[in-house]
C-alpha cells in the first residue's frame, strides 16, 4: 500500500474510480468517479475450484454511480482505444471466456509445493507471518458497523512467541513499534506460543498495519 500511494502521488493525473470517498482519497485524487460496489452490478469471477460463476446486482446503483466496467468502457471510448465497446458485462464475459471454453476450465490452481529458500535475515530481524481477517478484506464489510463490533474485527496485534518477547524485553500488552518497508506501525504486543520463535504475526488490510511492507518478509520490532 505504501508503494502504491507513493506512485499515485507522483503521477501527473490521478483518476480514482471507487464506491467510497474518504479524506485519504481527496489527498491525491484529481478526479473521483463514483462506481457501484460489486453488490449493485453484474459480473463474473472464477472461484478457487476453477468454476466460472456469474452474478447479478442485488439493487440499482445509488445516484449517479455506475458499474466500474461501464466507467472504464466510457473512458476507453473517449480515448478512442480498442476493446472498450461492450454493452454489458455478459458480452464482455462471452468475449473473454467463450462458452466453449467454460466447460472444464482449468485456472491453474494446484496444490503443488515449490521449494524456496528464503535469505537469512539480519540477526535482529523477525519474520512476519500475516493473514487478512475476514472482516478486513472487503470494502463493504469494513463499513458494516455490526460486523466491526465482532471479535473477528479486532485491531491487529504484534503476536510473538513468549521467548521472542523475552529476548526483545517486551511484555504482553506493551506498545510495540513495527518497522517494515516504508512505514512504521504501533501495535499492542501479544504472547502466542503457537508461533515459531523469531517471528511476529501482524494482520494485514487494517488501517493500523496497511502502511507496512510485504505480508511475508522481515521486519523489526521494539518497544515503543
Contact 206, 155 (CB under 8 A): yes
- At 174, list the grid cell: 506493551
The alpha carbon dihedral of 212, 216, 218, 219 has a sign of positive
Helix boundaries (H) for the chain: 2-10, 23-28, 68-78, 89-96, 99-102, 162-167
Could you list the pLDDT tens digit for every one of the 224 residues in the chain? Answer: 677 878 888 999 999 999 998 887 888 899 999 999 988 999 888 777 777 888 999 998 989 899 999 999 999 999 999 989 888 988 888 887 766 455 555 555 566 666 655 555 566 789 999 999 999 888 888 889 999 999 989 999 999 999 999 999 999 999 999 998 778 999 999 999 999 999 999 999 888 998 888 888 899 999 99
Q: Strands 43-46 and 218-223, how do they pair?
A: unpaired
Burial-class residue 180 by CB neighbours within 10 Å (0-12, 13-18, 19+): buried
Amino acid at each position: 500500500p505504501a508503494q502504491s500511494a507513493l506512485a499515485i502521488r507522483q503521477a501527473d493525473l490521478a483518476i480514482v474510480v471507487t464506491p467510497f470517498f474518504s479524506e485519504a482519497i481527496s489527498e491525491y485524487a484529481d478526479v473521483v468517479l463514483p462506481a457501484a460496489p460489486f453488490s449493485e452490478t453484474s459480473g463474473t469471477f472464477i472461484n478457487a475450484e476453477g468454476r466460472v460463476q456469474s452474478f447479478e446486482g442485488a439493487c440499482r446503483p445509488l445516484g449517479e454511480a455506475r458499474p466500474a466496467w461501464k466507467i472504464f468502457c466510457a473512458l476507453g471510448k473517449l480515448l478512442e482505444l480498442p476493446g472498450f465497446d461492450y454493452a454489458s458485462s455478459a458480452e464482455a464475459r462471452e468475449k473473454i471466456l467463450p462458452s466453449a471454453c467454460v466447460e472444464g476450465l482449468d485456472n491453474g490452481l494446484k496444490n503443488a509445493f515449490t521449494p524456496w529458500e528464503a535469505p537469512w535475515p539480519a540477526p535482529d530481524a523477525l519474520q512476519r507471518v500475516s493473514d487478512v481477517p475476514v472482516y478486513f478484506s472487503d470494502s463493504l464489510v469494513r463499513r458494516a458497523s455490526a460486523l466491526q463490533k465482532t471479535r473477528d474485527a479486532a485491531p491487529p496485534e504484534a503476536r510473538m512467541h513468549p521467548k521472542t518477547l523475552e529476548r526483545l524485553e517486551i511484555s504482553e500488552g506493551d506498545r510495540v513499534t513495527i518497522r517494515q518497508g516504508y512505514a512504521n506501525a504501533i501495535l499492542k504486543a501479544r504472547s502466542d506460543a503457537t508461533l515459531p520463535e523469531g517471528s511476529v504475526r501482524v494482520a494485514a488490510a487494517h488501517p493500523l498495519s496497511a502502511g507496512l511492507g510485504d505480508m511475508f518478509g522481515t521486519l523489526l520490532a521494539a518497544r515503543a
